[in-house]
């Protein structure tokens, strides 16, 4: 391969898809910026505070996790610990089997994408239906989400109408309201048939053991209202110290993710239904999922565990906008994904070691991050790790000869003068990959190596 995989993917991307991704992410970014900075005079200060709180949690998980477990148990929740994706899926399957359940309705949760829960359950004879509209469309299409909060940012309504028709959800109609109504009619019955509702959690308070869910479609409420058993799958990094901290995080998450002051629904769940409550799940499980996070915690990239999955870094990223989420071959795309996805591969890191290269290191991601993750620094660390592990990097010029030259002034100066030869050569034909890659798209300026040094000398003699 001549160039990087993500670059190839971008070059072959359908114009429709690119336009959908570009427009969707650009609009998301612009709305976010306006809302955040119009309302908060010092939004950047808030990002820094939130970052410090989450970093504190990440560095003290050994204290917070037992604390949160005790609170949850006291609230009547059954707590499970899953070291791997497989263990997390098995835990869900075990709970369903113990109840004799066969049908689950699912709200959107990224960690269940990570563990490929829906596929796993289907393989074991269970029905696991996505109820978030975007995730539902992805599921009936056999597709994958391409954005953390907007899973179908890569699709337009014509594609969705076609897939609805194919899946027996009515004759072709690409009116968004009709599409939504049809999905709703289909899903309403499914909630009533299901025994188990699965959600994630955006935050878990260590102080109270409260789970917090933010959604816009109300599907997670239906998942909880209609089923007898609630399972929440939660990454171990989702903890905030106190209920009070939620004020900061909810304000930042809604604004950063979807440019809303507050999401349509914010649910605080403290346990299974109490005797005084007329309905709701009688049984509640929380499965804390590690799946590589402990390794991330032990690495010099642990700051990435602050992430609250808002997707702002995807929206602002010029590379994501050109390449789309699927280019990253991972559940987590964009800048955050370029850090997190290779790390979550653990010993298979080399398979995704190209992701951190897909960035100009422009820094826009850190500038919008609600928890101020130094994403460019982490990308750089992972690039260095890839080099140290000798992972091949197509298109990246080798640096050894350059470093030798650049640490020996005499050789450096000689090459400045010698370089002039490129002004007389057909550079487009030279067998130097980096030069050809440059010249395929851009002209090279005239080589004027050493001219400045010459000017300095002649000038000095004139002055003296």
Partner 1 sequence: MLNTERKPITGKRVQLMATCLCDAFYDDVAVATVQVLEHLGVEVVFPDGQTCCGQPAFNGGDWAASRKVVRHTVKTFAGDEPVVVPSGSCAAMMFHGTVLEFEKEPDLGEVEALGRRTWELGDFIVNGLGVKTWPGRFAATVAFHRSCHSRGTGSSAAAATLLGSVAGLKIVEFGEGEQCCGFGGTFSVAFPNISASMGALKLDHLRAVKPDVLVSGDMSCMMHLGGLAKEEGKPIKTMHLAQVLRDALKNVGQL
**Which of 323, 343, 355, 371 touches partner 1 by CB under 8 A?**
323
N-term to C-term CA, the chain? 56
Q: Which of 76, 170, 218, 433 binds partner 1 (CB under 8 A)?
A: 433
Q: Which of residues 69-98 bind partner 1 (CB under 8 A)?
A: none
Among 40, 81, 265, 447, binds partner 1 (CB under 8 A): 447
Q: How far is the CB of 395 from partner 1 (least distance, A)?
A: 3
If binding is defined by CB under 8 A, does position 374 make contact with partner 1? yes
The tokens describing 451, both together, are 């001219």
Using CB under 8 A, which of 15, 171, 276, 440 touches partner 1? 440
Q: How far apart are alpha carbons 227 and 214 in whole angstroms?
A: 19
* Binding range to partner 1, per CB under 8 A, among 55-63, 228-236, 254-262, 430-438: 430-438
The yes or no reply on residue 438 touching partner 1 (CB under 8 A) is: yes
**Which is nearer to partner 1, 76 or 394 (by Cβ)?**
394
Please pick, from the candidates 397, 418, 421, 430, the single residue that binds partner 1 as defined by CB under 8 A: 397
Q: Crossing angle of helices 176-193/133-141, nearest 10°?
A: 90
Residue 23 interacts with partner 1 (CB under 8 A)?
A: no
264 or 361: CB nearest partner 1:
361
59 binds partner 1 (CB under 8 A): no
Q: Strands across the sheet with 103-106, in order? A: 78-82, 283-289, 229-235, 196-199, 103-106, 127-130
Q: Please report whether residue 118 would count as binding partner 1 according to CB under 8 A.
A: no
- What is the per-residue burial (b if ≥16 Cβ within 10 Å, else e) of 29-67? beebbebbeeeeeebeebbeebbebbbebbeebeebbee
Closer of 131 and 366 to partner 1 (Cβ): 366
How far is Cα 334 from Cα 323, in angstroms, rounded to an integer? 9
Joined tokens for residue 70: 């005790």
The residues that bridge with 104 in the sheet, in sequence order, are 128, 196
7 or 267, CB closer to partner 1? 7
CB of 377 to partner 1, least distance (A): 6
| Count of other CB atoms within 10 angstroms of residue 5 | 18
- Helix spans in 194-244 (H): 219-226
Of the residues 84, 102, 396, 427, which one makes contact with partner 1 according to CB under 8 A: 396
How many chain residues interact with partner 1 (CB under 8 A)?
68
| Residue 417 sits in the site that holds partner 1 (CB under 8 A) | no
- Using CB under 8 A, which residues numbered 130 to 159 contact partner 1? none
Q: Which of 7, 113, 159, 267 binds partner 1 (CB under 8 A)?
A: 7
- Tell how many helices (H) and how many strands (E) occur in the chain: 22, 10
> Binder to partner 1 among 76, 218, 350, 394 (CB under 8 A)?
394
Q: Which residue has the tokens 């990087």?
A: 4
| Interior angle at CA 224, CA 265 and CA 175, nearest 5 | 55
* 290's tokens: 């590690």
Other beta carbons within 10 angstroms of residue 17's beta carbon come to: 17
Residue with Cβ nearer partner 1 (189 or 441)? 441
Tell whether residue 400 is a contact of partner 1 (CB under 8 A): yes
In the region spanning residues 344 to 373, those forming contacts with partner 1, defined by CB under 8 A, are 357-364, 367
- Interface stretch with partner 1, choices 192-200, 235-243, 253-261, 385-393 (CB under 8 A): 385-393
Verify binding: residue 205, partner 1, rule CB under 8 A.
Answer: no
Select 110 or 380, whichever has its Cβ closest to partner 1: 380
Quick check: 308 and 58 in contact, CB under 8 A? no
DSSP 147-202: SSS-TTTT--HHHHHHHHHHTTS-S----HHHHHHHHHHHHHHHHHH-SEEEE--S
CA-to-CA separations, 285 to 38, 98, 235, 270, 420, in angstroms, rounded:
40, 13, 14, 11, 70
Q: How many beta carbons lie within 10 A of that of residue 346, not counting itself?
A: 13
> Do residues 237 and 61 make contact, with C-beta atoms less than 8 angstroms apart?
yes
Contact with partner 1 (CB under 8 A) among 322, 331, 333, 343: 322
Q: Which stretch binds partner 1 (CB under 8 A): 130-138, 203-211, 302-310, 384-392?
A: 384-392
Which of residues 282, 402, 418, 421 is near partner 1 by CB under 8 A? 402
Q: Is 430 in the site for partner 1 (CB under 8 A)?
A: no
Task: Tell me how far CA of residue 113 lies from CA of 107, 148, 306, 354, in angstroms.
Answer: 11, 10, 19, 21
Q: How far is the CB of 441 from partner 1 (least distance, A)?
A: 4
> Can you tell me the distance from the alpha carbon of 426 to that of 439, in angstroms, rounded to the nearest whole number?
11
Judged by CB under 8 A, the stretch of 146-154, 199-207, 288-296, 443-451 that binds partner 1 is 443-451
Of 8 and 156, which CB lies nearer to partner 1 in the complex structure?
8
Q: Which residues bind partner 1 (CB under 8 A)?
A: 3-4, 6-8, 10-11, 26, 318-319, 322-323, 357-364, 367, 374, 377, 380-381, 383-387, 393-400, 402-407, 409, 412, 416, 419, 433-434, 437-438, 440-453, 455-456
């Amino acid at each position: 391969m001549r160039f990087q995989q993500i670059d190839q993917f971008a070059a072959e991307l359908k114009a429709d898809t690119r336009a959908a991704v570009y427009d969707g992410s650009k609009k998301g970014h612009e709305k976010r910026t306006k809302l955040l900075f119009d309302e908060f005079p010092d939004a950047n200060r808030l990002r820094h505070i939130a970052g410090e709180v989450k970093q504190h949690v990440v560095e003290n998980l050994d204290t917070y996790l037992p604390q949160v477990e005790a609170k949850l148990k006291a609230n009547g929740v059954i707590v499970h610990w899953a070291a791997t994706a497989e263990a997390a899926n098995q835990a869900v399957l075990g709970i369903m089997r113990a109840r004799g359940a066969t049908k689950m309705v699912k709200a959107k949760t990224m960690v269940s994408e990570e563990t490929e829960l829906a596929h796993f359950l289907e393989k074991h004879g269970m029905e696991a239906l996505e109820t978030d509209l975007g995730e539902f469309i992805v599921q009936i299409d056999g597709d994958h989400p391409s954005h953390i909060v907007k899973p179908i940012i890569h699709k337009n309504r014509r594609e969705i109408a076609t897939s609805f028709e194919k899946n027996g959800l009515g004759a072709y109609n690409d009116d968004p309201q009709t599409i939504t109504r049809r999905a709703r009619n289909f899903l309403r019955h499914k909630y009533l048939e299901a025994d188990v509702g699965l959600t994630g959690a955006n935050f878990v308070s260590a102080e109270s053991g409260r789970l917090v869910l933010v959604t816009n479609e109300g599907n997670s409420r239906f998942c909880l209202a209609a089923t007898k058993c609630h399972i929440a799958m939660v990454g171990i990094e989702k903890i905030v110290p106190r209920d009070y901290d939620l004020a900061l995080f909810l304000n930042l998450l809604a604004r950063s993710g979807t440019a809303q002051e507050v999401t349509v629904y914010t649910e605080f769940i403290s346990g299974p239904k109490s005797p005084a409550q007329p309905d709701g799940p009688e049984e509640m499980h929380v499965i804390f999922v590690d799946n590589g996070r402990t390794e991330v915690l032990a690495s010099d990239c642990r700051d990435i565990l602050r992430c609250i999955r808002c997707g702002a870094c995807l929206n602002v990223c010029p590379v994501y906008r050109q390449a789309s989420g699927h280019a990253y071959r991972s559940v987590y795309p964009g800048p955050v994904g370029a850090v997190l996805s290779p790390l979550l591969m653990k010993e298979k890191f080399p398979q995704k070691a190209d992701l951190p290269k897909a960035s100009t290191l422009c820094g826009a991601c850190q500038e919008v991050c609600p928890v101020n993750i130094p994403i460019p620094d982490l990308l750089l660390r992972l690039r260095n790790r890839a080099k140290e592990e000798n992972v091949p990097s197509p298109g990246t010029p080798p640096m050894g000869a350059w470093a030798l030259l650049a640490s020996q002034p005499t050789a450096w100066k000689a090459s400045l003068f010698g370089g002039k030869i490129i002004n007389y050569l057909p550079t487009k034909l030279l067998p130097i990959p980096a030069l050809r890659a440059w010249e395929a798209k851009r002209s090279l300026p005239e080589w004027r190596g050493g001219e400045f040094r010459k000017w300095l000398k002649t000038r000095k003699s004139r002055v003296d």
